[in-house]
Amino acid sequence: MIIPSEGDFRLDDEAHTAAMGAAIADSLRKGEAICLSGPLGAGKSVLARGLIRALCPIENDIPSPTFTLVQFYPGPKFPIAHFDLYRLKSADEAYEIGLDEALHDGAAIIEWPERLGHHLPHHRLDVELTPDGGVRHARLTPHGAWEDRPIRL
């Protein structure tokens, strides 16, 4: 099924959340970012893992970069950088740990993108996750090159 990269979606469980990540991965291009927002436990890391597994042949666990701030993954098309900005004090810190380079060389998944303020990447897909009991809701908002781009789900 092809869906627009804009709209509201219901994710019934972790498997659906990971599948949404994999679907987004198929449309991600070099120089772009996926910005994941939502409260703790909303499923940001689950979606990120689904996306990373779809792009990179990784058999091991994919750790959350909560303490390392960023994890890098070599992909067959381009590298993927997974940022967790929760502990950052300013947007400048994200660029100090390699956000610009990650977008130049490949693509980035950014958890807690609100820490960047007005310094968000131009070509990005914002994914806002909201838990609602046992399900999650995902709101997709495209920016830049993501506008009018479909996603195969």
* pTM, 2 dp: 0.91
Give the residue carrying structure tokens 């950052």. 88
> Could you list the residue range(s) of the whole structural domain that residue 129 is in?
10-146
Residue 2 covered by a domain: no
Residue 16 covered by a domain: yes
Residue 104 covered by a domain: yes
Query: Looking at residue 66, what is its pLDDT?
Result: 60
Dump pLDDT digits (tens) for 66-90.
656 788 888 888 999 999 998 888 8
Domain CATH for 93: 3.40.50.300
Query: Looking at residue 63, what is its pLDDT?
Result: 61
Of 45, 64, 31, residue with least CA distance to 127 = 45
**Total structural domains within the chain:** 1
Residues of the chain with pLDDT under 50: none
Query: Looking at residue 126, what is its pLDDT?
Result: 97
Residue 1 covered by a domain: no
